[in-house]
Structure 1
Amino acid sequence: MVDQRRLAVWGDPIAHSKSPALHAAAYTVLGLDWEYGRRQVTGDAFADELGSLDESWLGLSLTMPLKEHAFRAAATHDRHAEMTGAMNTLLLGEELAGFNTDVGGIIDALAERSITEVRTARILGAGATAASALVAVAEIGAIRVDVRARRPERAAGLVELGTRLGIDVQVAPLDDAAEAVDITVATLPSGTVLAEESAARLAHGGGALFDAAYAPWPSALATTWGDGVVVSGLGMLLHQAVRQIRIFLNGDPAHVLPDEPAVIAAMRAALDHPSS
């Protein structure tokens, strides 16, 4: 039997991904002789690329636009993947097992900043990351969520997800007036710049800001947030990767790694001091 130890992150675009540095740092601490690369894969090419992998491949990390494609390809899904209809982790083997570690990554990143409970939230955006954000805030206590999207009709799935989660989800355009909330979660594409008035309106009474974007940082939205707590998407990137490595090593995103604090420290150092 081939020793499965090849992994990679797939997406389009992918050259900017910090995942190879994160995973390499973790594997060094864990003493694993695993190879983790990156590959540019479009949605149209995903099925063929997946079918071309041999037994040396252990798993994949998936970023946009592949999260929904991977969900459809997987034979099994963990609870967070099932809730969101999207996944960012694929464990290869006799059957494809899919996981969504973005939800846990958001929760862990917020907990690092002592944000462990909220009642109200606002989510900016309506894509796959927004669905993960909705589940994350629900799991830390949110009962009302205000979704803001450039095309509100795209948020119908979030309303349905809110119903399943037992929380009230209201949808409005980005520019509408906003009620005060405990936290704002921005899932807009990296580099998004909102109109100055819109950004100021969202910042006023917007609570803490978690911005899934991290390149460039600070994001345009983060610079408008004044003295409020601002959490970079790098925290989510780090902690979703920790959960991925748990899956690749143990098959379980909740199974803590050996000497996990040292693993996380090495991964954080790789983000703070990239080699390239």
Structure 2
Amino acid sequence: MRNKMFELENEFVKYAVIGDPVAHSVSPAMQNAGFMAAGLDERYGKYHVKPDELADFTEFARHNLYGFNATVPHKSALIDLLDEVAPAALAANSVNTVSVRNGKLYGDSTDGYGLETALKEAFDLDIADSRIVMLGAGGAAQATAFEFVSRQAAHLTIVNRTKSKAEALAEHLSGQSTVLTALGNDETDLIAQAITHADVVIQATSAGLRESDAPPLELELLQNAAAIFDMIYKNTAVLQYAQKHNIPCADGRGMLLHQGAKSFSIWTERRAPVAAMRAALDAALNK
């Protein structure tokens, strides 16, 4: 069933971000700064696409756009609608970057690159051989965990409110060199022990998107963390705790910047103007 007709915002908009919701997205500000700094005429918009409109949108994109980014909740559902998907994105079951070439849709994921680059930038941390505690086992966490395993982290501890979800994710990722452990939120002694020995704690739940959200775990368990990376680009309760206790920390804007820069490079086949994109991103987030 056709839900609605998608229309170009204007003739210059050839790229976009899609999501449900999408109004909050700062990707247009960041990407448009990139296009302008690179001297390109194309512009980047946003489309509110509900799950039952995704197929219609991909057909619209096939004939009208040069590429688009996908965010929640479309990263997995998109895969079956594309003509070709990069092997790593297929294995992670997550696509966030689509290129349109000669009427065909090519899917890729730049999230892993964005995360890897952000961790290196914030903490001088290399994922390979590192010990990581990850909070969450949902969609974002699943793709993130895959990146850690594919980049050969030494040990990944997955902590989730529902332990069975953490166990299922660990089982799905098994068979690689990374040692995997699954814990429920109530296993506080084991969580504290894992955090004490970890190089970084990754906050990969949605807790903190709304100010009313409860923290993803008892904050006191973080007191011995070496570093904390929250994938949300807000000053969440987790980050406030880290700042109060002088724990090195970073929010998700570095990941957003670098995955966006990688998307830009895939589409334009040129180096992304990262400094201009960073300035625009910071300005948009600090409004």
Question: Structures share a fold, TM > 0.5?
Answer: yes
Give the letter for the 2:199 counterpart.
Answer: D
Q: Which residue of 2 aligns with 1:131?
A: 142
Matched, 1:194 2:215: yes
Alignment size in residue pairs:
261
Give the letter for the 1:55 counterpart.
Answer: H
Instruction: Tell me which of 259, 262, 265 is aligned to 2:275.
Output: 265
Residues 199/80 of structure 1: CA separation in 2 closer, same or farther (3 Å cut): farther
Instruction: Tell me which of 86, 92, 99 is aligned to 1:84.
Output: 92
Asked if the contact 2:27–2:281 (Cα under 8 Å) also holds between the matched residues in 1, the reply is no
Asked if the contact 2:96–2:110 (Cα under 8 Å) also holds between the matched residues in 1, the reply is yes
- Deviation string 1:55-96 (CA, Å, 9 cap, x unpaired) is 331111000000011122223222431221111111123322
Q: Which residue of 1 aligns with 2:115?
A: 106
* Ranges in structure 1 where 5+ consecutive residues have no aligned partner: 251-256
Matched, 1:23 2:43: no
Residues 103/152 of structure 1: CA separation in 2 closer, same or farther (3 Å cut): same
Structure-2 separation of matches of 1:79 and 1:231: 30
Post-superposition offset of 1:16: 0.6
Q: Which residue of 1 aligns with 2:106?
A: 97
* Ranges in structure 2 where 5+ consecutive residues have no aligned partner: 1-10
TM-score, normalised via structure 2 length = 0.83
| Identity among equivalent pairs (%) | 26
Instruction: Tell me which of 217, 231, 236 is aligned to 2:255.
Output: 236
Matched, 1:223 2:240: yes
- Deviation string 1:206-225 (CA, Å, 9 cap, x unpaired) is 331111001xx311111112
Residues 164/137 of structure 1: CA separation in 2 closer, same or farther (3 Å cut): same
Structure-2 separation of matches of 1:23 and 1:147: 33
Q: Say which SS state the counterpart of residue 96 (structure 1) adopts.
A: strand
Post-superposition offset of 1:109: 0.5
TM-score, normalised via structure 1 length = 0.86
- Structural RMSD (CA): 2.3
